[in-house]
Structure 1
């Protein structure tokens, strides 16, 4: 069938004119095949080089001085939002597995830990003045943090932009985004002074591919990604490492009111999976981006495609429907 599919079969009925001699039509397809096969190979190899080899070489060059942490007893870890969920599991896992010098947890929820190396400080990370005061206490009592895990995050009621109260929007932006700035301003200067440290930022797949009825949360996480990338550029050439984690839906209390529409397509993550990925990133000691699970790799690519395609993917994945189902649940932190 292919040899007979020529420019004539497409344009002929419209213009009622033959553009190609019918006896040369098969030759046209043979020549086209000879051209396209090498061309396809060139595209394939170019894609592998551009998206595989070159990033790998640049990654190795960027982290040429990176070294795994050999002596955790010299490391002080600070975790925001560490009293529950992912943050608490990170604190307990690091304490059990590596026993750093100290683990400092910042949260508005009081909590207790069985491990004496974990200290709790009450702090609303969205409040700049409180962060500054608590940071001074931490430096005085525990020392300067060498590892920071920006994990604190909240979500508002799943309402439309118009219906979301102004104070909820402001609160989400403060805790999810502005807190990143306040923590960095408090603790980053010493990291730069000693040329040693690692900052882990927990973003979200919704920062790359937003869903309906979660505009404030999506905007805050998109801002977190911008903050991380901007700070990473500032720290190029130093030994302060930057890791950003882009998880999908995590099975924690934050989205406990949500009914997952298509778990077979976008499976929810266990807290332990994200925890292990962050701990591994710290152990390796290199700047990197972590996407979990596999489908989250696709989210940033949607921005390069027509918006209709991205909208269709969101509908197919059930993201908009999930947030709509979450509409009448109380916000969680």
Structure 2
């Protein structure tokens, strides 16, 4: 079939897709059951990872919990058990590929095949590029994106064999939009969003429609991850709200989960507004947080 005919056939597909999306707004979405599923969550010793573990525990999932902090991960596991779930705690440094592969082998051998993988572990340093140390840059990429490769390569084969599973990428709105003094963090989260999109497309090309993918992209969350964040247009999010949106997205197989959801509008504006107008929008937002700005030789907020 020639290109012209393919383009003509594309038009009704686009129209049908819009109609389908509109109709779905009025139809309750069926939620899948995760009871008995083996769920592995990285960075589960605190914050979003810990609360996500509690939500899966409430749904009677079996949990494998990873974190670099022994005390934190054991606390999370203990609470999950109190909620009635089976929970296994592992101390894993997600910046180290060898530790990830070693822990993954133990999980597969002693516990079973992971059905739902939540790549949540993340680190950040807020500073201008020249003040960001080389080891900090390397650590952000090792944890925020490279760890996603190692965990996915470890657990995807069983999902592929069974054509069943779910891979969750916890990214950020910083994976779609940039901010000063977060060059490395934004870059790593752009990579995480790209990883999610490319993996989603690849699984589709391989015909593995039973393996779902989701990507979480929130704004600032009140977890202490970033110090003293504030913005004029969007409230700082409480972690409970973000986790509720994440679980809703997983249970309904949403591909991209923005919190708050109207962030999608901002992304559209970035693509259609002239640069000067978009710069004015950024200024209006007045995003601030504590950052080391060595260029000005002092700690400041931007």
Which TM bucket (shorter chain)?
A: 0.7 to 0.9
| Partner of residue 79, structure 1 | 41
Cα distance in 1 for partners of 2:264, 2:92 equals 34
| Partner of residue 4, structure 2 | none
CA gap 1:261/1:282 in 2 versus in 1, 3 angstroms: closer
For 1:144-155, list aligned pairs within 5 A. Answer: 144-155=113-124
Cα distance in 2 for partners of 1:280, 1:182 equals 26
- Say which of 238, 243, 246 aligns to 1:278: 246
CA gap 1:291/1:71 in 2 versus in 1, 3 angstroms: closer
CA gap 1:314/1:143 in 2 versus in 1, 3 angstroms: same
Contact 2:145 2:192 in 1 (8 A): yes
Moved more, 296-305 or 199-208: 296-305
Report the Cα offset of residue 221 of structure 1.
0.5
| Partner of residue 289, structure 1 | 256
Contact 2:229 2:236 in 1 (8 A): no
3-state SS, counterpart of residue 72 of structure 1:
coil
Structure 2 unpaired stretches of 5+: 1-11, 293-298
Report the Cα offset of residue 159 of structure 1.
1.6
Report the Cα offset of residue 216 of structure 1.
0.5
Q: Deviations over 1:242-287 (max 9, x none)?
A: 11111111111201x224142xx11111111111112122322x24
| Partner of residue 130, structure 1 | 99
CA gap 1:306/1:146 in 2 versus in 1, 3 angstroms: same
**Is 2:219 aligned against 1:252?**
no
Contact 1:77 1:147 in 2 (8 A): yes
Contact 1:147 1:199 in 2 (8 A): yes
Report the Cα offset of residue 55 of structure 1.
5.3
Cα RMSD (Å): 2.5
**Is 2:227 aligned against 1:267?**
no
Contact 1:202 1:246 in 2 (8 A): yes
Q: Deviations over 1:10-40 (max 9, x none)?
A: xxxxxxxxxxxxxxxxxxxxxxxxxxxxxxx
For 1:1-333, list aligned pairs within 5 A. Answer: 49=15, 52-53=18-19, 68-70=31-33, 72-73=35-36, 75-96=37-58, 98-100=59-61, 102-110=62-70, 111=72, 112=75, 113-116=78-81, 117-156=86-125, 158-236=126-204, 237-238=207-208, 239-255=210-226, 257-262=227-232, 265-284=233-252, 286-301=253-268, 302-319=270-287, 322-323=288-289, 325-327=290-292, 328=299
Cα distance in 2 for partners of 1:128, 1:204 equals 23
Cα distance in 2 for partners of 1:314, 1:51 equals 32
**Taking structure 1 as the reference length, what is the TM-score of the superposition?**
0.74
Cα distance in 1 for partners of 2:92, 2:244 equals 26
* Bigger radius of gyration: 1
Contact 1:206 1:222 in 2 (8 A): yes
User: How many residues align structurally?
Assistant: 266
Contact 1:150 1:202 in 2 (8 A): yes
